[in-house]
Amino acid sequence: MLELRGATYRYAGYARPAIHDVDLRLADGEILGLMGANEAGKSTICLVASGLAPASIGGGLTGTLTIDAEPMAGRPVHELAARVAVGFQDPATQRSGIAATVFEEVALGPMNLGLPATETIARAREALTLLRIGDLADRDPSRLSGGQGQLVAIASLLAMRPRHIVLDEPTAQLDPEGTRLVADALRSLAATGTALLVAEHKTDLLDELCDRVAVVSEGRIVADGPTAAILGDGRLEAWGVEPPSRVRLARALAARGLDPAAAGVGA
């Protein structure tokens, strides 16, 4: 369980907070989607939910981050990292820079947790298999396409088997096939009890992936609820979020006087 309460955060050197009074609760095994326009505050919420802000990047936080009933204020970065794994949009920023192969890169996480070699190898293999990138195992991690790099970055997180994962636009560089692989991997992870917070532009992906979604607008959570209810909310566009294709199609049919339900399209 990961919970933000009344979180207001200012980046270092800025007077104005980037997010205001954010409440978010992530239950074990739950996938919570985070949507919103550019600059709305999604990435900032990811940083605060993972504890990196302020522990790693400074700035000022009021309100609380609680993980598994323990307050995280003042905890060192390595302790936060053991509790929450974070993945960012740009895989290059997450590469260790010290691994010669993709396999080594993915194995670094479990190795740093101090796990025995057999367990480390088993976890790295499993993570590569889950994302169907076993064929990249011997490749140089610095010479991958954006999409391949993103899958490797996610495999590195999965290999640590964290209880909580925060992902900021994990499929930004992926084609539909890669996006599907990531969605499948995240679903199977959630089924083992891992809690996931996923900031995404792709509402079709959130539609099929998430139990719940929250909308951020101008640094505040303006909606939070069951996925179908929020994605069908008429205010979505005003919040800068494009409704998923299912909802757009249903609306287009309704505008022509056709019954979406009869056409097999649920709104």
Sites of contact with ligand ADP (CB under 6 A) = 11, 14, 18, 36, 38-44
Give the residue with the Cβ less far from Mg ion, 42 or 123.
42
174 binds, among Mg ion, ligand ADP, none (CB under 5 to 8 A by kind): none
Report the interhelical angle of 146-159 vs 176-191 (nearest 10°).
Answer: 10
Write the DSSP assignment of 191-236 as a string of letters: HTT-EEEEE-S-HHHHHHH-SEEEEEETTEEEEEEEHHHHHT-TTT
Give the residue with the Cβ less far from Mg ion, 35 or 111.
35
CB closest to Mg ion, residue no: 43
229 and 206 Cβ atoms separated by less than 8 Å: no
∠ Cα 41 204 163 (to 5°): 60
Q: Least distance from C-beta 12 to ligand ADP, angstroms?
A: 8
For residue 48, the 8-state DSSP code is H
Give the residue with the Cβ less far from ligand ADP, 39 or 70.
39
41 binds, among Mg ion, ligand ADP, none (CB under 5 to 8 A by kind): ligand ADP
Residues in touch with Mg ion (CB under 5 A): 42-43
* Residue 192 dihedral angles phi and psi, to the nearest 5°: -90, 5
Torsion of CA 10, 15, 21, 26, to 10 degrees: -10
Q: Least distance from C-beta 148 to ligand ADP, angstroms?
A: 24
Q: Least distance from C-beta 250 to Mg ion, angstroms?
A: 29
Token pair recorded at residue 232: 């069908």
18 binds, among Mg ion, ligand ADP, none (CB under 5 to 8 A by kind): ligand ADP
Q: Least distance from C-beta 186 to ligand ADP, angstroms?
A: 19
Give the residue with the Cβ less far from ligand ADP, 38 or 118.
38
| 260: Cα separation from own chain's centroid | 32
Give the strand pairing for 31-35 and 195-199. parallel
Give the residue with the Cβ less far from ligand ADP, 11 or 63.
11
Give which of 246, 137, 125, 130 is closest to 184, Cα–Cα.
Answer: 130
Give the residue with the Cβ less far from ligand ADP, 41 or 109.
41
Q: Least distance from C-beta 262 to ligand ADP, angstroms?
A: 38
Q: How far is residue 212 from each of residues 156, 196, 199, 226, 231, measured CA to CA in Å? A: 25, 11, 12, 4, 10
Q: Least distance from C-beta 19 to ligand ADP, angstroms?
A: 7
